């Protein structure tokens, strides 16, 4: 079972994402700030991360930056979700290696398709090295 870490400070969004992702067959862990997100990522070793852009302790970009160079977690696919309308966020996310960037409210089918595509791409890359 593929593992997804959701880091989001809005507990209603975390709950709805958790329910939707578990129904789709994923194991899900949740965090609400940068520090707990990093610690849970180290312990849980998710296959993919769903990160809000703005949350306490550095936000999704801060967490992605910390994970990007980590020897175990670096290279894991990241999808950013945000309600922010700040210009340049999508470009900043891509610069951090994000595989997707979605605005809230997101469409559930689109998010699940993005997750599936990102995880399929990782599997294809692994297969290429065998």
Q: Cα–Cα distance between 37 and 84 in angstroms, integer?
A: 20
Alpha helices in 27-98 (DSSP H): 34-44, 59-68, 89-95
- Among 55, 42, 44, 120, which Cα is nearest to 81's? 55
Q: To which CATH superfamily is domain 3-128 assigned?
A: Response regulator (3.40.50.2300)
Global pTM? Answer: 0.92
- Average pLDDT (26-31) is 97
What is the predicted pLDDT for the residue at 126?
65
Structural domain boundaries in the chain: 3-128
Q: Cα–Cα distance between 39 and 84 in angstroms, integer?
A: 25
Chain segment 4-23, per-residue pLDDT in tens: 999 999 999 999 999 999 99
User: What strands, in cross-sheet order, belong to the sheet with 100-103?
Assistant: 27-31, 3-7, 48-52, 78-82, 100-103
Chain segment 109-123, per-residue pLDDT in tens: 999 999 999 999 877
């Amino acid at each position: 079972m593929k593992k997804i870490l959701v880091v989001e400070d809005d507990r209603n969004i975390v709950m709805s994402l958790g329910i939707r992702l578990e129904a789709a067959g994923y194991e899900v862990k949740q965090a609400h700030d940068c520090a707990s997100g990093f610690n849970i990522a180290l312990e849980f070793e998710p296959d993919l991360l769903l990160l809000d852009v703005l949350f306490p302790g550095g936000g999704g970009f801060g967490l992605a930056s910390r994970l990007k160079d980590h020897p175990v977690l670096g290279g894991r696919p990241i999808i950013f979700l945000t309600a922010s309308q700040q210009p340049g966020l999508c470009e900043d996310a891509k610069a951090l290696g994000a595989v997707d960037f979605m605005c809230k409210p997101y469409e559930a089918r689109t998010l699940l398709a993005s997750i599936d595509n990102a995880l399929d791409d990782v599997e294809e890359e692994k297969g290429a090295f065998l």
